[in-house]
Structure 1
């Protein structure tokens, strides 16, 4: 499925920049539960937290690792780890599946709202900046 390329965050952006950009993306294009992107998406689809992180890093929806570079995959994983840690989850960095499952479970709660999602993405970014010396 071909989608337009959005301007991705800079390759040297820290996880806080990625998380804020994901919140902005959700504000602009919508939020989704239960999937990365809606079935049959065409351009700038609504996205779950993980889907939005992938879009802002890759500049387009990226459902599979084979759709992106190793550098993009690494940047996505780092942002996901930071967000999962903000939510109170501590995993070994190699537990990628468990990190994503924790984020997806949090995203998909029946009572979760888009405001909860964007606020927590921004709060995680601020916490990262506070701990790591500010935005880059």
Structure 2
């Protein structure tokens, strides 16, 4: 291999990696509520909600809706978002009951959780990182995938 060649990447990017990338994105570019990205800025790296930051981590760029992701990035996004939802269900459950007393959704919505008026950027970043740590704890042994 020549010194100017880029060595091949042999590692697998895990949901934990993508959750950490999303947390890092929020630390660097800011957190947002209400939509995937802050609409008040015309930058390629706007403040994002948790789901928007996960989308950027998966795609490598801003996407307006997860349906715009290609096959591999979409699979990564849906898997990573599911890992985050599993974490929220266990550690910060929010369930919505309709007016008749029926459970509307059995899983915590990452969108509702992110958009809670009392939520802070630090809580979102901490939850993304904690979800990544939990995924690693459950799916790796000695730094390698199980």
Matched, 1:74 2:75: yes
- TM-score, normalising length from structure 2? 0.74
Query: Which runs of 5 or more residues in structure 2 are unaligned?
Result: 1-9, 94-104
Matches of residues 88-103 of structure 1 in structure 2 within 5 Å? Answer: 88=89, 102-103=109-110
Aligned partner of 1:13 in structure 2 is: 13
Q: What's the CA shift for 1:42?
A: 2.5
SS at match of 1:45: coil
Instruction: Kindly provide the CA deviation profile for residues 92-136 of structure 1, in whole angstroms up to 9, marking residues without a partner as x.
Output: xxxxxx799700000001110011000000000000000001466
Q: Is the 8 A contact 1:16 1:129 kept in 2?
A: yes
1:59 is matched with which residue?
60
Cα distance in 1, alignment partners of residues 54 and 19 from structure 2: 7
Aligned-pair CA distance for 1:43: 1.4
> How many residues are treated as equivalent by the alignment?
120
What RMSD over aligned residues (CA atoms) do the two structures have, in Å? 2.5
RCO (CA 8 Å, sep 6+): is it higher in 1 or 2? 1
Runs of 4+ in structure 1 deviating by more than 6 angstroms, as ranges, are 98-101
